[in-house]
Amino acid sequence: MKFIIKLFPEITIKSKSVRQRMVKILQGNIRNVLQKVDETVTVRNDWDKLMVSSKNDSPENRDKLVERLSCMPGIQAFLEVTQVPFTDLHDIYEQTAAVYGPTLANKTFCVRVKRKGKHEFTSIEIERYVGGGLNQNFPSNGVRLSHPDLQINLQIENELLYLVTAIHKGLGGYPLSTQEDVLSLISGGFDSGVASYLFIKRGSRVHYCFFNLGGAAHEIGVKQVAYYLWSKYSQSHKVKFVSVPFEPVVGEILEKIDNGLMGVVLKRMMMRAASRVAERMGVEALVTGESVGQVSSQTVTNLSVIDRVTDTLILRPLIVSDKQDIIDQARAIGTQEFAETMPEYCGVISNKPTVKARYEEVLANEAKFNFDVLENVITSAKVIDIREIANETEAQVQEVETTSALAENEVILDIRSPDEHEDKPFNPEGMTVIHLPFYKLSTQFGDLDQSKTYLLYCERGVMSKLQALYLKEQGFNNIKVYRQN
């Protein structure tokens, strides 16, 4: 099995040395990620492209490799190809006909050729010869050069013919670690997940910093989003997850800071702490999911007051994005499901938050704040290798029993959204299934017959674990998680 990797166009316009460095990094990243699922993978660097080869041709292996390649920054597109040697023009026709001839019935088609090397024929001559032959010898709806039903793509490189059997879109962006590392402030909501993803896609190794404002379930939820982003889009590199126990800081703010300024001061405290953590890690910039006007602490005036707390660069990739676009992007990258189930932990809730914080007033308020509290939480910040999360959260959610069998008096609670429920109905034979979407659980779970035990079901088992934890925290003990064998 072979794939031709097309580079992100911005790489191809770099100087020779920069381009060589980036392509070499991408080559290493691909090797590193793919060899975890297929040891036979090799990656060859051909200057204008990378060639990925595997000795394992099974469809399952192909699916796995396609999935991994489509999530790797730096790749614009990748082609699945069959590589064969050829002798002359007619041989190219015959080899193409053997693969594509039988698939032409009831279709319009055209042949497109890219060629490299010295040959006795031009690319256009090949297109005409192969296209004409297919048209004559196989039933079809004829050749159509624009918008055909089927475009047959051939690549010819010296004495080799590559028959392109599929073209996949890549993620784009720069290969991971070609840009500097950043520390992303992640809260588990839509915004910070998307902001983190955008930096991964741009080529930065993204480390995560979470300020725990209360609740074990919140921390587990945030860790799972961070772990998901890392394992899906950036697992070629190790990253850190930092958790800072911020409840004491919130307590101090609630006690000492004027009500209207609490939100801005909380963010300034987060930036102070994050800058120190970043400095310790040798990271030069912070990333947040803030966007102008989205909430009161995110006005230009307030953001400017927040920025003045640190010299560390604060990057805000979503600064002018609309909320709906952010939610759409979260859906596309797969973090929406986590964000929807994440509880809102505001930490401090002002009755009347100011949208125009005055800098002098903020300083005067902060003069009352006991900074030893902040020092202590920074010292007790817990830094872990993100790979530990898989085991750690697994251990934390172990208190929620997972089962694949239904006992008497147990009912499956399908907590997927109505869309998912409709797309993939889940009604195992002989089992009672109630459908109650996750967003109604907190208000409607109590109305269910509490003499029964409920086995929460969702597709990936992530949301059901989280929701089971929340319900347990709320005092419901008749909960388990259901996983199919």
List the catalytic residues.
Answer: 458
Which residues are annotated binding-site positions for ATP? 185-186, 267, 289, 298
Which residues are annotated binding-site positions? 185-186, 267, 289, 298
Task: Provide the H-helix boundaries in 59-121.
Answer: 59-69, 89-100
Q: Determine which helix (DSSP H) or strand (DSSP E) holds 291, and give its type and residue range.
A: none
Among 70-78, 183-191, 412-420, 460-468, which window interacts with ligand ATP (CB under 6 A)?
Answer: 183-191
Cβ-proximal residues to 300 (8 Å cutoff; 6+ apart), any chain: 292
Residue from 76, 231, 294, 396 touching ligand ATP (CB under 6 A): that is 294
| Helix, strand, coil tally for the chain in percent (to 5) | 45, 20, 35
Chain centroid to Cα 390, Å, comes to 16
Query: Is residue 290 near ligand ATP by the rule CB under 6 A?
Result: yes
Among 14-22, 288-296, 357-365, 462-470, which window interacts with ligand ATP (CB under 6 A)?
Answer: 288-296
Interaction residues for ligand ATP, span 29-48 (CB under 6 A) = none
184 in Cβ contact with 208 (< 8 Å) = yes
What φ, ψ does residue 144 adopt, rounded to 5°?
-135, 125
Tell the smallest beta-carbon distance from residue 268 to ligand ATP (Å): 12
Among 99-107, 111-119, 188-196, 438-446, which window interacts with ligand ATP (CB under 6 A)?
Answer: 188-196
**Nearer CB in complex with ligand ATP: 190/482:** 190
Query: Is residue 354 near ligand ATP by the rule CB under 6 A?
Result: no
**Nearer CB in complex with ligand ATP: 26/339:** 339
Tell the smallest beta-carbon distance from residue 293 to ligand ATP (Å): 11
Residue from 174, 190, 197, 445 touching ligand ATP (CB under 6 A): that is 190
Nearest alpha carbon to residue 119 among 85, 163, 89 = 89
**Nearer CB in complex with ligand ATP: 228/482:** 228
Give the residue closest to ligand ATP by C-beta: 189
At 77, list the tokens: 């597109």
**Nearer CB in complex with ligand ATP: 377/400:** 377
CB count within 10 Å of CB 401 equals: 12
Question: Would you give the binding string for ligand ATP spanning residues 206-225, x where CB under 6 A is met?
Answer: ----xx-x------------
163 in Cβ contact with 94 (< 8 Å) = no
At 22, list the tokens: 């980036």
List C-alpha distances in Å: 185 to 275, 283, 297, 312, 458: 11, 13, 15, 13, 28
Nearest alpha carbon to residue 50 among 100, 114, 7 = 7
**Nearer CB in complex with ligand ATP: 50/326:** 326
Query: Is residue 189 near ligand ATP by the rule CB under 6 A?
Result: yes
Tell the smallest beta-carbon distance from residue 336 to ligand ATP (Å): 11
3-state secondary structure at position 294:
coil
Q: At what angle do helices 371-379 and 262-281 cross, to 10 degrees?
A: 40
Query: Is residue 390 near ligand ATP by the rule CB under 6 A?
Result: no
**Nearer CB in complex with ligand ATP: 133/189:** 189
**Nearer CB in complex with ligand ATP: 185/333:** 185
At 35, list the tokens: 């060899």
Cα separation of 129 and 144, whole Å? 15
369 in Cβ contact with 262 (< 8 Å) = no
Residue type (1 letter), 191: D
Residue type (1 letter), 455: L
Three-state SS for 207-220 is: EEEEEECCCHHHHH
Residue type (1 letter), 284: E
Query: Is residue 333 near ligand ATP by the rule CB under 6 A?
Result: no
Among 17-25, 83-91, 100-108, 182-190, which window interacts with ligand ATP (CB under 6 A)?
Answer: 182-190
Q: At what angle do helices 262-281 and 359-366 cross, to 10 degrees?
A: 70
Tell the smallest beta-carbon distance from residue 360 to ligand ATP (Å): 23
Residue from 178, 192, 453, 478 touching ligand ATP (CB under 6 A): that is 192
Chain centroid to Cα 51, Å, comes to 25
Query: Is residue 187 near ligand ATP by the rule CB under 6 A?
Result: yes
Tell the smallest beta-carbon distance from residue 478 to ligand ATP (Å): 31
Cα separation of 419 and 364, whole Å? 52
Residue from 73, 175, 260, 289 touching ligand ATP (CB under 6 A): that is 289
Tell the smallest beta-carbon distance from residue 326 to ligand ATP (Å): 8
Interaction residues for ligand ATP, span 296-315 (CB under 6 A) = 297
Residue type (1 letter), 118: K
Cα separation of 43 and 27, whole Å? 6
Tell the smallest beta-carbon distance from residue 416 to ligand ATP (Å): 22
CB count within 10 Å of CB 195 equals: 26
Tell the smallest beta-carbon distance from residue 323 to ligand ATP (Å): 8
Query: Is residue 191 near ligand ATP by the rule CB under 6 A?
Result: yes
**Nearer CB in complex with ligand ATP: 211/457:** 211
Q: How many residues bind ligand ATP (CB under 6 A)?
A: 16
Query: Is residue 363 near ligand ATP by the rule CB under 6 A?
Result: no
Query: Is residue 173 near ligand ATP by the rule CB under 6 A?
Result: no
Residue type (1 letter), 242: V
Which residue ranges make up the site for ligand ATP (CB under 6 A)? Answer: 185-187, 189-192, 210-211, 213, 288-290, 294-295, 297
